[in-house]
Amino acid sequence: MLTLAVSVQAQRRLPGQQGLQATVGKVDKFDKSSVHTGVALSQFTKNSHQWKFGAEYLHKKLHYRIQSVPVEQFTVEGGYYRTLLSDGSKTFFFTAGVSGMAGYELVNRDRSLLYDGSTILSKSKFLFGDVFSFEVETYIFDQIILLTGFRERILPGSTINKFHSQFYAGVKFIIN
């Protein structure tokens, strides 16, 4: 009698496989007046690495006397995430990524005058910069992944803050 030993592996992170993710999180040391949300499309390469392309919205309130001044950033990005660590069952992945980012920063909804007659000198403008990310992904099912991460956005063109630290959580759905 002939017996064959077959190893069964989960069909996870195959080259060309794509995922759609949605994230939400806090900005700059859990400041309660700042949030961000984003969506991204990722495509896996060989060795479980991935390309990501996405869009993000960041909302932050700067406090001035008795008024809050809203600052919003609308950005798009694209980058490469390399798998640094994974387990044998392909359930847990730790990745690091670098992305290029561009977008638009809207300061006080383009109104330069404040309630007391003061003028905001920061102007709305186009942004560019880089993002450095660390992300943990955990497969719940073959098609559903929970993720959490940390990102540092470096936007030298920003009028309010050149650096933004982001902590986030989200879900990714494998779409093919």
Q: pTM of the entire structure? A: 0.85
- Residues 40, 35: Cα–Cα separation, whole Å: 17
CATH of domain 18-174: 2.40.160.20
The pLDDT-based confidence of 9 (bands split at 50, 70, 90) is: low
| pLDDT tens digits, 40-72 | 999 999 888 999 999 999 998 877 777 778 889
Q: Please state the domain extents for the chain.
A: 18-174
More confident residue, 66 or 174: 174
| pLDDT tens digits, 119-128 | 776 778 899 9
CA distances from 106 to 67, 91, 103 (A): 17, 40, 10
Beta strands in the chain (DSSP E): 18-27, 34-44, 50-64, 67-86, 92-107, 125-141, 144-154, 163-174
